Amino acid sequence: MSARACPDWPALMEIAPNLQFRHVTLGEARLPVDAFVQLEGIGADEVVLCCDLDAHVFNHEHTEDRVVEALRGTHWIDVREIAERPA
């Protein structure tokens, strides 16, 4: 797998210390079918998503806007949702 560590990992660790965010390609992401079908025209080898693949949490700041929109309503969550939860 050609996943790359997110350069904003120190800030992300403050929000979600148990997650490891990496920049991944569309093909590596294994997105839900209902999200994937909305992404026609994006190549499987294009790096479009910053996320923790196992936890299904993405970083909107490093994720292509079309992917963020496609993930709305799926089981994937935006790291902002974790940041907004009361401590």
Distances (CA, A) of 30 to 8, 15, 83, 84: 23, 24, 24, 26
Tokens 């969550």 correspond to: 77
In the chain, where the domains are located: 4-84
- Reported as a single tens digit per residue, the pLDDT across 3-50 is 699 999 999 999 999 999 999 999 999 999 999 999 999 999 999 999
Q: What is the pTM of this model?
A: 0.89
Q: Which phi and psi angles does 22 have, rounded to 5°?
A: -135, 150
Residue among 17, 43, 20, 31 nearest 68 (CA): 31
- Reported as a single tens digit per residue, the pLDDT across 62-78 is 999 999 999 999 999 99
Confidence band of 1 (pLDDT split at 50, 70, 90): very low
CB neighbours of 57 closer than 8 A, spacing ≥ 6?
Answer: 16, 19, 21, 51, 76, 77, 78, 79, 82
